[in-house]
Chain A
Amino acid sequence: MSKLKVAVFKFSSCDGCQLQFLNLEEELIHLIDLIDFALFYEARTYVEPGPYDLSFVEGSISTPHEVELIKKVRDESKVIVTVGACATSGGIQALRNWANVKEFQNYVYPRPEWIEVLKNAEPPSKYVNVDYEVRGCPASKEQLLSFILQFMRGKIPILPISPLCIECKLSGNLCVLVVNGTPCLGPVTMAGCGALCPSYGRGCYGCYGPSVDSRTLVLNRRFKEMELKPKEIQLLFKQFAGWSRKFREVIEEYE
């Protein structure tokens, strides 16, 4: 069997998701016996030209150049997997989608006219077809490894679909929302991190984005009953996966 030809591409992002491949450490050494990282700029100089069997894409699309590039990636890839909050929902930089990007340029740069960006930071799925999504800010390295191993064996990779609450219950945590009255996005957020934030005594901040069939408007109602201020509710949803459709429904109620 010939080795799976894998590529890792980066767009607007922090590098944290592709770092998760390198964080596999000892597993990585075994993994490279099974697959070929044919393009992975952060890890190696050698580049094998496409087409690629499996392309992992980190980051959101936020410049005209990136729009061209993602289309090229689509052409060269049999399967595209977007990885992390930036690539699945636009990420934290998508906060500018509610603002005036020109004003942002003026605020950050002495010479804003030299900076070329799109008005919005969007997930790659806005521009090309995407085959799978691995969520999280960052994506979990265990999920990435499991994805590759399932995919290599010809399986349709199984990814989480349930809300974080399921994992939280399995971890044996007391509910921070019910018991402490801490605002928590767990009921509407995709599982996958192992309910980390509630395990450390804080509410989930939704970095895995909405779960399948996420009832964000219901949670919004609950937050209102708890007498949270509109601004607080909005900021809670308006974070790393704020630009996802389900979270936006709540955010835009308060815009």
Chain B
Amino acid sequence: MRSMSRAIKVDYLSRVEGEGNLYVEIENNQISKVELGIFEAPRFFEAFLRGRKYVEVPDITARICGICPVAYIMSSSRAIEKILGIEVDECTDILRRIIYLGEWIESHLLHVLMLHAPDFLGHESIIGIAKENPDIVKKGLKLKSWGNSVMKVIGGRSVHPISCRVGGFYRIIRKEELETLIKHSDVMGRYAEDLLKWVLTLKIPELKRDVEYVSLKGVNEYPILRGRVVSNRGLDIAEDVFEEYVETEQVRYSTSLRYRIRGRSYYVVGPLARYNNNYHLLRPEVREVIESYGYGPQLSNSFQSIIARAAETYHAVLEIKELIKKYSEPAKPYEEGGVMEGVGSAITEAPRGILYHRYELDGKGYVINSNIIPPTSQNLASIERDIIAFNDELVKMDLSDLQRLAEHVVRNYDPCISCATHFIKVINIKINT
């Protein structure tokens, strides 16, 4: 008699940032339950931010995530600047964009090359790829290293940079400091182009699912520091009203909250959403490569997020080079603004998608209340739905393939569990037939 129940238990989800688990249950050839659990310990940032001085907030919230600290610095700085009535000048804006793009490169390369590509090629880590294709690994690591250099030149260090502050930077960043980066930018452009081409040749699984993609909308440039919040289903709102449009949920198996569009359903944020909502703003050189491989303005499933990341990497290298040329030193390093009570919120595009911060300050500049919505929390429910969409394939697979595919789906979203839980590593698959 065929066994009535099969079960797989893997204790730690690997190649993700943070600790989580996945539980998949199959009954009568149907996936009956998928639970992406987060057991990363809660760290209560919103709670201990109360009573901190506004100027400390970017440094503190950066510690939510070591992989995307600049994202936290920028969302919090912009939210607070709205309260203080600060509008930064163009030079500061350019610098912010450069360091943020540097972070995209560093974070995307980490994911594309070290965490995600092994899934497409049947390896357990980058080591396997390095043996098979040392050239692409070498180029990829040089790109990652250059992204880190961009962050280091402006920020002092790449993990938890120290130069950024509310209103600008602690000191004027000199044009010649930035120019040290230009030297390698042409080579990096070629490497990024090669990386994109390599990614475009990967065998990418098919998956059909109707998804709402939410991102910022760029006006003249690919969105990163600001923009309206839009989706392919007609969402088009200002960042200030974002909380009115999303509902918060808590599930028992997760220390991360999750989100859905009010009155609708779950949604997806991240490189895929940005790409689909802003394809025309990618540099023409990038689009040309993409189109020469038969892809276009709309990517259709989460596996293709690797294309969006590689495309954004190439775009970022080209844009950084241009921005450095455009940069001129500001007259003063930062704007002071006037301390006053009020509420401010802001959204920027973290490597993993839109990152929302809201702060309420008292008249002396101390935080009274805050709310932070990181990208990964917004994607958690969609990861589960992607797995359910694979029902017909998954139920036919043997356990090890099933597990491999389910893990691959999780990694498509580059989940950053430290972010999600600022407050995953167990895969647990149970099958009852």
Interface of A toward B, CB cutoff 8 Å: 10-17, 19-20, 22-23, 25-26, 28-29, 32, 41-47, 62-63, 65-66, 91-93, 95-96, 99, 101, 103-105, 107-111, 114-115, 117, 121, 137-138, 140, 193, 196-197, 199-202, 205, 207, 232, 235, 239-240
- Select A16's contact among B47, B52, B66, B423, beta carbons within 8 Å: B66
A23–B127 touching, CB < 8 Å: no
Query: Are B159 and A108 interface neighbours, CB within 8 A?
Result: no
Taking CB atoms, residues of chain B closer than 8 Å to A114 are: 250, 252
Partner of A99, one of B19, B47, B138, B148: B47
Q: Across the interface, name the chain B residue whose C-beta is closest to A139.
A: B159
Q: Do the beta carbons of A22 and B18 come within 8 Å of each other?
A: no
Interface: B269 (CB within 8 A): no
12 more CB-based (< 8 A) A-B contacts, given A12-B40, A29-B137, A66-B41: A13-B66, A16-B63, A28-B141, A41-B13, A42-B15, A44-B15, A45-B14, A92-B48, A104-B44, A107-B47, A109-B250, A202-B162
Instruction: List the B side residues contacting A46 at CB < 8 Å.
Output: 124-125
How far apart are B248's CB and chain A's nearest CB, in angstroms? Answer: 7
B141 touches A16 (CB 8 A): no
Rounded to whole angstroms, the CA-CA distance of A196 and B154 in the bound complex is 12
- Tell me the bound Cα distance from A108 to B44 in angstroms: 7
Cα A19 to Cα B66 with chains together (Å): 7
* Set of chain B residues within 8 Å of A109, measured between Cβ atoms: 42, 250, 257, 423
Which B residues from 38 to 62 make CB contacts under 8 A with A? 39-48, 50, 52-53, 56, 59-60
Cα–Cα, bound, A63→B157 (Å): 30
Interface residues of B in 89-134 (CB under 8 A from A): 106, 110, 114-115, 118, 124-127, 130
- Is the pair A43, B63 in contact by a Cβ cutoff of 8 Å? no
B162: A residues at CB distance < 8 A? 196-197, 200, 202
Q: Which residues of B contact A95 (CB under 8 A)?
A: 48
Q: Is B127's CB under 8 angstroms from A200's CB?
A: no
Contacts of B41 on A, CB cut-off 8 Å?
11-12, 62-63, 66, 93, 117
B residues adjacent to A (C-beta < 8 A): 12-19, 39-48, 50, 52-53, 56, 59-60, 63-67, 69, 106, 110, 114-115, 118, 124-127, 130, 137-138, 141-142, 144-145, 148, 156-160, 162-163, 165, 169-171, 248, 250, 252, 255, 257, 333, 407, 416, 418, 423, 425
Contact B42 A138 (CB under 8 A): no
Q: What are 5 sample pairs from A and B whose C-beta atoms fall under 8 A apart?
A: A22-B114, A92-B45, A93-B48, A104-B48, A108-B46
Indicate which residue in A103, A115, A232 contacts B42 across the interface (CB closer than 8 Å).
A115
Separation of A137 and B167 alpha carbons in the complex (Å): 23
- By beta carbon, the residue of chain B nearest A140 is B157
| Smallest CB separation, B422 vs chain A (Å) | 8
B12 touches A41 (CB 8 A): yes
A29, B125: Cβ atoms closer than 8 Å:
no
Closest to B163 in A: A200
What is the minimal beta-carbon distance from A14 to any residue of chain B, in angstroms? 4
B125: chain A residues within 8 A (beta carbon): 43-46
8 Å CB contact of B142 from A26, A91, A137: A26
Q: Cβ of B15: which chain A residues have Cβ within 8 Å of it?
A: 41-45
Within 8 Å CB of B144, what residues of A? 23, 25
CA distance in complex: A196, B152 (Å): 11
Known A-B contacts A10-B19, A44-B15; the reply to A196 vs B44 at CB < 8 A is no
Q: How far is the CA of A248 from the CA of B356 in the complex (A)?
A: 33
Query: How long is the Cα–Cα vector from A110 to B53 in the complex, in angstroms?
Result: 26
Evaluate contact between A44 and B127: CB separation under 8 angstroms.
yes
Contacts of B60 in A (CB 8 A): 92, 239
Q: Are B64 and A14 in contact (CB under 8 A)?
A: yes
C-alpha gap A93/B235 in the complex (Å) = 36
Report the minimal beta-carbon distance from A181 to chain B, rounded to whole angstroms.
15
Q: Which residue of A lies closest to B419 (CB)?
A: A14
Min CB distance B395 to A, Å, is 23
- The one of B12, B43, B124 in contact with A93, judged by C-beta atoms closer than 8 angstroms, is B43
B47 — which chain A residues lie within 8 A by C-beta?
96, 99, 103-104, 107-108
Shortest distance from the beta carbon of B32 to any chain A beta carbon, whole Å? 22
Rounded to whole angstroms, the CA-CA distance of A15 and B414 in the bound complex is: 14
Pick from B13, B45, B48, B69 the residue with the most CB of A within 10 Å: B48
Which residues of chain A are within 8 angstroms of B64 by Cβ–Cβ distance? Answer: 14
Q: Complex: how many Å from CA A161 to CA B17?
A: 31
